[in-house]
């Protein structure tokens, strides 16, 4: 009888394991079929970038795109789709027309794009160009230039170092880089996969980095206005000819606004600087027709939910997200239209398969990330408790995980574990079926400066996807070339399908993902 009992028990366990494995296999098969054979990822990113981009925080264009996303998701039969507001005083800013030229000593069309939230030029303006290398010591600048800036355009900063473009503009992570990251044993050393690494400190990020960076120009702008200067020209070292107009953060209604301020190509900057060095004074002609306005209703996060099917677990949530806002000079395709389209496609795939995850799956497309996590931080404070306070709501304990995508349009290569050792074996098992796609690389290291920082701060398991760099940091990040041409279809399909599979498996777990100690 004991022998029979043991045999029966072993058979029961084997059958149970087989059924469980088969069920998981069948679910992943459905996800793969939908994600790879019926993909809508490129259609979504095409709409989001070509039709509804750019999506600068506070603008009508952002809200129009948000309405499109909400309607599109609702048409898939997703259980809940709604907006949540995040900012009452974030201003919109639109460009209607602009032009920048050198008219003397010879004509040159200056490759330019205005920085956001700068003031209208009130028509065509013409003035001599002068150079101010730095305004870090504003008192020294005032001492040298007070009374001398009226009617002038200022060339600000140093000419970027010459770049002969011997290095590739687009790259994927090498096996060596991936292996080095996987071998890391502490979260915060220099990250072989990119520059953003360190101990995540949300308060430090927001107060020391974002706020000090955002407010660094205010006194200089005030001085230029008082002196009667006409405009400012600046640049960044993006070769060849790439314009990088991010860096103005005067988006709140009460913020000091700059006189017309243009980012120009490094090549245009270099020529202007060389002429000044020869004591030849270029004459600059420009106009900027722009509009500042305040419409708080534009500032919304887009939230969507597939309600869990298990009576005991449906109140627990697996969250995914990406920031929906972008900078203004292009369509915001890689930053972060690609991430937003992938997360939308994740929701579509899971819904279209007919799978019924035990836990609720919630997607958030955040506004205002580029201005310091405005959307995700407002959401967290509304749902989890105030920053800097120790009291937390019970909702914090209901979130099993948050997975974020915001590193361009490159293929997923794995997950940054953010120092969470306990989750490694869980993700290893979940990603094993996709090892042939090389998406199952895990590193204990941190990456930061995007929305998962907020969730990590609340001790919610928050993870950022590792993605191939492609040309994100060299060509498209916050530039006039952030366009659909730099979004690879295969990468988008892999990203959406693998994340859908990962999220579904997390939602099916008997318990939440382990938190950091």
Residue 512's pLDDT band (cuts 50, 70, 90)? very high
Residue 200's pLDDT band (cuts 50, 70, 90)? low
Best CA proximity match to 513, nearest among 429, 453, 438? 429
- The predicted-structure confidence for 472-488, as pLDDT tens digits, reads as follows 999 999 999 999 999 99
Mean pLDDT of 209-215: 74
- The predicted-structure confidence for 3-20, as pLDDT tens digits, reads as follows 444 443 443 344 444 445
pLDDT at 212: 72
Determine the number of helices (DSSP H) and then strands (DSSP E) in the chain: 14, 16
Best CA proximity match to 284, nearest among 119, 152, 432, 439? 152
Mean pLDDT of 145-162: 96
Q: Is the pLDDT confidence value at 199 over 90?
A: no
Q: Is the pLDDT confidence value at 328 over 70?
A: yes
Mean pLDDT of 495-510: 98
- The predicted-structure confidence for 281-300, as pLDDT tens digits, reads as follows 999 999 999 999 999 999 99
DSSP strands (E only) in 68-221? 80-85, 92-104, 108-109, 112-114, 125-132, 153-156
Residue 155's pLDDT band (cuts 50, 70, 90)? very high
Measured in whole angstroms, how far is the alpha carbon of residue 290 from the centre of its chain? 25
Q: Rounded to whole angstroms, what are the CA distances from 51 to 97, 115, 195, 508?
A: 19, 22, 32, 37
pLDDT at 196: 53
Mean pLDDT of 39-45: 98
pLDDT at 14: 42
Q: Is the pLDDT confidence value at 151 over 90?
A: yes
| CATH 3.40.50.300, applies to 27-90+173-204+296-508 | no
pLDDT at 84: 98
Mean pLDDT of 99-111: 98
Best CA proximity match to 463, nearest among 66, 195, 187, 55? 187
Bridge partners, 412 (sequence order): 467
What pTM did the predictor assign?
A: 0.94
Residue 186's pLDDT band (cuts 50, 70, 90)? confident
Distance between CA atoms of 291 and 96, rounded to whole angstroms?
A: 8
Give the β-pairing of 261-264 and 231-234: parallel
Q: Is the pLDDT confidence value at 29 over 50?
A: yes
pLDDT at 195: 59
- In the predicted model, what is the mean pLDDT of the chain? 93
Residue 208's pLDDT band (cuts 50, 70, 90)? confident
Q: Is the pLDDT confidence value at 2 over 60?
A: no
Task: Map out the domains of the chain as residue ranges.
Answer: 27-90+173-204+296-508, 92-165+215-292
3-state secondary structure of 366: strand
Q: Vertex 322, ends 318 and 328: CA angle to 5°? A: 165
55-64, 193-202, 445-454, 504-513, range with the lowest pLDDT: 193-202
pLDDT at 16: 45
Helix (H) or strand (E) holding 289: strand 283-293
pLDDT at 443: 95
- The predicted-structure confidence for 121-132, as pLDDT tens digits, reads as follows 999 999 999 999
Q: Is the pLDDT confidence value at 405 over 50?
A: yes
pLDDT at 247: 84
Bridge partners, 231 (sequence order): 153
Distance between CA atoms of 169 and 450, rounded to whole angstroms?
A: 23
Q: Is the pLDDT confidence value at 221 over 90?
A: yes
Mean pLDDT of 437-460: 93
CATH code given to domain 92-165+215-292: 3.50.30.30
Best CA proximity match to 380, nearest among 304, 453, 479, 293? 453
Report the percent of the chain where pLDDT is more than 90.
87
Residue 495's pLDDT band (cuts 50, 70, 90)? very high
Largest Cα separation within the chain, whole Å, is 104
Mean pLDDT of 356-371: 97
- The predicted-structure confidence for 77-104, as pLDDT tens digits, reads as follows 999 999 999 999 999 999 999 999 999 9
């Amino acid at each position: 009888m004991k022998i029979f009992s043991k045999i029966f028990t072993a058979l029961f366990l084997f059958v149970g394991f087989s059924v469980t494995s088969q069920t998981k296999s069948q679910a992943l098969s459905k996800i793969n079929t939908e994600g790879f054979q019926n993909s809508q990822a490129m259609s979504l990113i095409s709409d989001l970038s070509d039709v509804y981009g750019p999506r600068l925080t506070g603008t009508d264009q952002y809200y129009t795109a948000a309405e499109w996303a909400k309607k599109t998701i609702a048409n898939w039969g997703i259980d809940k789709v709604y907006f949540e507001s995040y900012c009452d005083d974030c201003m919109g800013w639109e460009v209607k027309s602009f032009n920048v030229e050198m008219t003397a000593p010879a004509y040159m069309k200056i490759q330019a794009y205005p920085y956001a939230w700068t003031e209208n030029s009130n028509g065509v303006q013409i003035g001599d160009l002068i150079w101010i290398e730095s305004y870090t010591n504003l008192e020294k600048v005032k001492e040298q230039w007070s009374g001398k800036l009226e009617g002038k355009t200022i060339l600000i900063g140093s000419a970027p170092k010459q770049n002969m473009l011997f290095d590739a503009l687009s790259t994927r992570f090498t096996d060596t880089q991936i292996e080095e990251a996987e071998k890391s044993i502490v979260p915060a050393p220099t990250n072989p996969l990119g520059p953003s690494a360190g101990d995540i400190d949300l308060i430090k990020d927001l107060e020391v980095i974002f706020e000090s960076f955002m407010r660094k120009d205010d006194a200089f702008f005030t001085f230029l206005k008082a002196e009667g200067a006409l405009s400012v020209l600046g640049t960044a070292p993006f070769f060849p000819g790439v314009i990088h107009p991010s860096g103005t953060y005067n988006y709140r209604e009460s913020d000091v606004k700059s006189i017309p301020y243009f980012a120009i190509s490094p090549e245009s900057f270099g020529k202007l600087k060389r002429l000044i060095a020869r004591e030849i004074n270029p004459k600059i002609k420009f106009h900027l027709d722009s509009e500042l306005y305040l419409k708080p209703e534009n500032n919304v996060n887009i939230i969507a939910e597939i309600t869990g099917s298990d009576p005991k677990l449906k109140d627990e949530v697996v969250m995914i997200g990406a920031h929906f806002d972008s900078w203004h000079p292009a369509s915001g395709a890689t930053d972060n239209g690609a991430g937003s389209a992938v997360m939308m496609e994740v929701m579509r795939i899971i819904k279209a398969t007919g799978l019924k995850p035990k836990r609720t799956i919630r997607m958030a497309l955040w506004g205002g990330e580029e201005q310091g996590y405005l959307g995700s931080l407002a959401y967290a404070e509304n749902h989890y408790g105030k920053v800097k306070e120790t009291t937390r709501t019970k909702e914090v304990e209901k979130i099993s995980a948050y997975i974020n995508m915001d590193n361009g349009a490159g293929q997923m290569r794995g997950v940054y574990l953010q120092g969470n050792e306990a989750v490694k074996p869980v993700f290893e098992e979940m990603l094993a079926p996709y090892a042939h796609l090389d998406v199952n690389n895990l590193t204990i290291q941190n990456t930061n400066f995007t929305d998962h920082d907020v969730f990590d701060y609340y001790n919610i398991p928050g993870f950022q996807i590792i993605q191939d760099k492609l040309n994100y940091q060299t060509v498209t990040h916050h530039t006039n070339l952030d366009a659909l041409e730099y979004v690879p279809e295969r990468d988008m399909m892999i990203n959406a399908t693998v994340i859908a599979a990962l999220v579904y498996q997390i939602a099916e777990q008997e318990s939440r993902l382990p938190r950091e100690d």
